[in-house]
Every structure is written in structure tokens, then in C-alpha cells.
Structure 1
Amino acid sequence: MDSNGASPIAPTPPAPATVTHKDPKMAAQAANDMNIVRRKLTGYVGFANLPNQWHRKSVRKGFNFNVMVVGESGLGKSTLVNTLFNTSLYPPKERKPPSLDISKTVSIQSISADIEENGVRLRLTVVDTPGFGDFINNDESWDPIVKNIEQRFDAYHEQENKVNRMNIVDNRIHAVVFFIQPTGHSLKPLDVEVMKKLHTKVNLIPVIAKADTLTDEEIGEFKARILADIAHHRIQIFEGPRYELDDEETVAENAEIMSKVPFAVVGANAEVSTVDGRKVRGRRYPWGIIEVDNEEHCDFVKLRQMLIRTHMEELKEHTNNSLYENYRSEKLIAMGRKQDMSVFKEVNPAVKQEEERSLHEAKLQKMEMEMKMVFQQKVAEKESKLRQSEEELYARHREMKEQLERQKQELEEKKTRIEQGRPLEEKGKRKGFSLR
């Protein structure tokens, strides 16, 4: 009871929210959003420790990374790989005499090594393509490379189809470092053709090899021409993904890395002494020293940062979720298999009710349209019959009117004859036979 003696009125509970949308997918998404209840925790639960659990599991299991290097001989592919991972993965190559016969096809060589850093183990596999671009006629020289990438996809797909999938070995190529000759002009036709064959199957990372042969101005102009060629031929190169939760520092770091593409790199394993007594990895020239790890001298640090330190998992994730899935889908479709999209529908009562309501509304709308069409057809038929009856009545009316006009005219003539004293019928016009 309040001060006036009236009973307090209980608050009316809010009506259940309903979702109305013409698009069933959008309605389903809205229904899902309605089912998400956000609550603020009043105490510590513990699921914030999930990243630490994932970290321990990943460190215990180890990581793997497969990279392919593509480019002509003499561009420093082996040296750059050794420089990237700071290990002698590639032994020094033996100098072959000029008289030795050179292979007529592109061969595929794979080298794997287990490396460890601060307790983290990495199984590194480098796939080299010796002989690429070394022939007078390089037509179809990219076929062994493309076939090797597809064979790795097929091997992974075959492992997925086995009964036991606990120990699947991922041999798919996660990144292709494509070496471009430091000509300073633009991409060669062979480079364009190979990149067009590869960009839908692998993460393509273009680099300018032996960038110390070009000046800073020449490198800037060369990069602009390469990017223009890539855009003109619609070649997709790897770009770091952007996430909503990234802080400003991460966004700026990714933008700085992508601004260096294609990376102008210099590889060197040997250490040299600088004027101030520092030991650095680089190359000594009569005019000075090129430091590999100095960002003012080349883009090696940015390449290593993207390839290893910041985007290695993104490269593997994009390979698995996008490139491999597209290849797998095309392969299954070519085999005549079709995807039943109903298997992806979640069993959610609210979503199901919303879909049924949408289907019912569509059915009612269809029935209403059919009834309107039948009604319009009946009305059209009735109007046609009415018009036909109207025309018949009008013709009959006109005929009766003409008949009345003729009778009136005959009566007028008879009246005139009577007034003039003439017989109503002339003798010559008497019809029939007479006995008189």
C-alpha cells in the first residue's frame, strides 16, 4: 500500500525480443547475437589462463615451417636462407667446371633441419628450385614448381582422409620467397608468368636480390615499377592481416613492414669488423661495409621480422584456411562432389524458429501473389463478358431504333396520302392476284 492507500502496481516484464529481417542469414545472425548474454565476473574464474596453456602445449609440441625459394641461380638464395635463420643450413657450393653438363630441367631439392632457440623447437624445411630461369628457352619451366606445391597439398589431403589423423605431417609450402634480379627496370615476362601461376597456391613474398648493386634512388624506382606490374597483372602477394584488437604500435609496425615490399635484401654469413670495432654480419667493399642487420642499408630486418618474428603463424594460417581450402574445394568439385550446406547449420531453436518464420512469410507472400493473379484473371474475364453483352445490347438497340424510324417514316407517308385524298396503296403496286 502507498501513502494514498492504493496497491502498488507490479512492473510489467519486458516483452520477449523478436528478430525481424528479410534476409534469413542476417536474421539468424541477429538471433545468435540475442542469445549471447554478457555478464561481468564478480571474481576470478581462470579461463584467462588459456593463452598460457596454449603456449605450454605449443612449446612442448614444437613448430614447423616450410619455405620455398624461387629464383635464378646466382641471386644468393642459399646465402639469404642461412642469414635468415642464422645457421649453415646450406653448405658452401662447389664450383663446377664449365665443361660439366647442366641439367635441362628445373629440379626440386628439399632440406630440413631442427633448430632451437630459447627452448622453442622449429622444424625448418627449405625447398630450393635449382635450374629455374637458367635456360635459353624457359617455357613451362615453372611446371615442376607448381606440381611440387600441388603434390604437397594432395599428400596433406590424403592424410586428412585417413581413419587415424592424430599425426598429420604438414609438408605444405607456407611461403614462397621469390627472388627478382636487380635490373632496376621492371619484372621480366618470366617473373610475371611464374608469379601468376603461384599466387593462388602459396603466400608470395617478392624480394630484390643483391640490392647492394643499386643506389637508394634506383631501389625506390625499381620497387615502384615492380608494384605497378603486380597491380597491373592482378598478382596477389602476402599482406599481413589486420585485427580489431591490435594496438596502435602493432598496426604501425605492420604498416612499416608492408611499406618495404618488395624487400631489397643483402645476404651475408661472414662477420666483418667496422671502423669503430664492431663485429657485424655484412660485406666489405672498397668504399665501405654493407651491414645486413642495419635497416638503413637494406630491408633484411623487415623481411626476417615478417617471415619469422611476427607473421609466421599468419602465413601458416592463411595457407591452411584459404589457399589449401580453395585448392581442396576445386579438386573435390572436379571429382563431381557437391557440398551440402545444411551440415553447417547450428542447431539453435531461436535461429530455426526465425528461419521457419521467414519461410512461412515467403510462402504466404507467394500464396497472396497467386490469389491476386487469379482475382485479376477473373476480373478480366468478367469485364470481357460485360463488354461483349454491352456490345450486343447496343447493336440490338440500334436495330430496334432503325426499325422504329422506318415505321415512323411509313406512317408519315400514309398520313400525307390521306390528307391529299390519295389512296393508301397505288394500283400498280398491289401485290398478289385478284379475281375481279
Structure 2
Amino acid sequence: MGVLTTEEQGNRPNTQGIIKGSDLFGYVGIEAAGFEFNIMVVGQSGLGKSTLVNTLFKSKVSRKSCTPNYEEKISKTVHLQSVSHIIEEKGVKMRLTVIDTPGFGDQINNENCWEPIVKYINEQYEKYLKEELHVNRKRRIPDTRVHCCVYFLPATGHWLRPIDVEFMKRLGNIVSIVPVIAKADTLTMEERLEFKQRIRQGLQANGIRVYPQKEYDEDAEERILNDRIRESIPFAVVGTDKEHQVNGNKVLGRKTKWGIIEVENVAHCEFAHLRDLLIRSHLQDLKDVTHNIHYETYRVRRLNESNANGLGLSALSLENGTAEKSEAESQL
């Protein structure tokens, strides 16, 4: 399998070629002819975001991997960048977009560093809303909305940091957040369990909503499944793109002087649980929650604002139509 690379263009997604293979998202029961899945990764530099994303989709799909001659530079502000890929399996295509947030949490003063991220997420909702309001709208509206935000917590072994609390409080109402402990192999098993418990206590104490939320469970069976996931959050993960021989088998793992940490071995880390949540058991639910909960909340608020300002639905549609007409006329 291969990936064709191109240079990034700010926060406009780029399609990087077609990745094929039954091991990519063979877990997903796909009935549609094709669909989009947009995942955002947030966390300070050095937490292994790119490596984990590459491990998750078993190919080089991260921003770093897809940029020729990439060199890490600390951004003075949060600048969102995205890369897109077409992942194909058995004739079904999924457009995967990975949105990275370099610069987040890297400064001495991180005040309001979440604002560009909030703005980006809302801009995608606005873009979708305008497409919906077109008089002659497309049969399938291109979906650039963020379906999941994977938030990387450093393996400090202590409590949630103020920046973690502020970010998840502000983002939890507009996007599905899945917190993970990055580079979890730096903690002992006892430290990991204690840290996970402290984080869950911090989430509850601060009223932070992370996915999957209890109020969205539809039945008893789903509640049992999601309770098991909620007891594991945040997932303690390790990412690597290197393979090693273990008992005659090739496994993804990190080699240390004490042995090999197998990424997909649940006795070593919880990467497999995160992978299954994102691209096996809950992929469609993440898309549904985005559309039916987060986007719907945004849509209602925007339409109420328009009505309050005396514009109304028709005025928004007319505004969109005028913009389209102006664009068409400029091309004549």
C-alpha cells in the first residue's frame, strides 16, 4: 500500500492518494457507497500524536508523514493543518481527514489557545448549514465536520492540568472528545491505574463531557457496552510504526532494554480499545452524535439568532444564493 504526498496548504485539507487493505477498517459494517470521517488530534508537541494516528490507520496518514522534508517548528499560535486520504476496502471508499493542532499548549502563556480550535469546529458546522440551506442543494453534502477529537494527556501521573480542564470544558459541548494518556509506557501499571482514576475524578469534578456520554445511550445493551468504555477512559496508549518478532510473529511494538511493549496487546496498553472505539464499534455513532447532537445544537442556535435579528431561514438562503450568483458572474 502506498501514499502519494503533496504539500499542505494551511488548514485546507489535501487528498493524499488511495490506501488499500482489508486491515484498515475491516471492522466497520459499511452500507453506504462511501463516507467521510474527520478526526482531530490535540495535544502539546512531543506526545506522539502523529505516531499514534499512523499506528491507528496502519499507514503514514499524519501531517508529519505526508509532508516532504518535514521539520518540527514550535508555532507561536495554534495553526490547524489537515491532510486527507481515500481509504479503500472491498470497493468501499472512506475519506479520512486528520486535523492536527500544532502549537497547542507549547507556549509559556497558553491563554485562550483553544479559540482557533473552537473557531475551526464551528466553521465546519456553518459550512454544512449553508449547504443545507441552498435552494438547489447537493444530494450528498460534503462533510468536513469534526466527528471526534482525540485529546492527548501527558503521562505525568498527577492530576489534570488547568489547560486540560479548560480545553475539555469548552470543547465538550461542541465535539465528541476522547481523552488518552500519551506514551503510557513511561508509567508503571500501578501509576497508570492511579493516574486514570485521578483523571476520571477531575473530569467529574469539573463537569467535563467526554465521549461516550451516558445521556446518549439508547438502550440497556448500549449502556453496558459504554459503561465498560467509560471505566477505561482515558485510554492509556502507546504508538509505533516499527515491527518486531515476538514468538515467531511480527508485532507492532516499542523495544526497550526490558523487552518489547506490544502496541496491540491489551495486557501492555489500551491502544486496541481506542482503535476499536474509533474505527470498529463506534465510528457510525460518532458521526451520528456529531450530526444529531452537536451540529443540531449549532443549527438551532444559528437559526434562532437569524430570527432574532429579523433575518429568518429564507434570508439565510437568499444570502447563500446571492453569494453563489456573484461567484458565477465573476467567472463570466
TM-score in same-fold range (> 0.5): yes
Query: Do residues 290 (structure 1) and 261 (structure 2) align?
Result: yes
Amino acid at match of 1:124: L
Aligned residue number for residue 319 of structure 2: none
Aligned residue number for residue 82 of structure 1: 54
Change (3 A) 1:251 1:57: closer
Greater helix fraction, Structure 1 or Structure 2 = 1
The answer on whether the counterparts of 2:75 and 2:102 sit within 8 Å (CA) in structure 1 is no
Aligned residues: 275
RCO higher in structure (CA 8 A, sep ≥6): 2
Q: Within 5 A, what are the aligned runs for 1:191-340?
A: 191-239=164-212, 241-244=216-219, 246=221, 253-274=225-246, 276-337=247-308
SS of the equivalent of 1:186 reads coil
Q: Within 5 A, what are the aligned runs for 1:345-384?
A: none
Residues 104-159 of structure 1 show CA distances to partners (whole Å, capped at 9, x for unaligned) of 11100011000112333211011000011111111111111110001101100110
Greater strand fraction, Structure 1 or Structure 2 = 2
- Cα RMSD for the two superposed structures: 2.1
Q: What's the offset of the Cα at 1:214?
A: 0.3
The answer on whether the counterparts of 2:159 and 2:202 sit within 8 Å (CA) in structure 1 is yes
The answer on whether the counterparts of 2:74 and 2:102 sit within 8 Å (CA) in structure 1 is no
Aligned residue number for residue 124 of structure 1: 96
Amino acid at match of 1:115: I
Query: Do residues 153 (structure 1) and 91 (structure 2) align?
Result: no
Query: Do residues 142 (structure 1) and 114 (structure 2) align?
Result: yes
Amino acid at match of 1:103: S
Residues 310-340 of structure 1 show CA distances to partners (whole Å, capped at 9, x for unaligned) of 10111110111111111121222223349xx
Structure 1 gaps of 5+ residues are 1-54, 339-436
TM-score, normalised with respect to structure 2:
0.78
SS of the equivalent of 2:150 reads strand
Residues 335-376 of structure 1 show CA distances to partners (whole Å, capped at 9, x for unaligned) of 3349xxxxxxxxxxxxxxxxxxxxxxxxxxxxxxxxxxxxxx
Aligned residue number for residue 18 of structure 2: none
Q: What's the offset of the Cα at 1:254?
A: 4.0
TM-score, normalised with respect to structure 1:
0.60
Amino acid at match of 2:263: V
Structure 2 gaps of 5+ residues are 1-28, 310-332
SS of the equivalent of 1:135 reads coil
Q: Within 5 A, what are the aligned runs for 1:26-45?
A: none
The percent of aligned pairs where both chains have the same amino acid is 49
Change (3 A) 1:329 1:220: same
Matches of 2:90 and 2:227, distance apart in 1: 28
Query: Do residues 184 (structure 1) and 157 (structure 2) align?
Result: yes
Q: Looking at CA atoms only, which structure, 1 or 2, has the larger radius of gyration?
A: 1
Change (3 A) 1:266 1:329: same
Amino acid at match of 2:158: H
Amino acid at match of 2:57: F
Change (3 A) 1:302 1:102: closer
Query: Do residues 67 (structure 1) and 39 (structure 2) align?
Result: yes
Misfit runs of 4+, over 6 Å: none
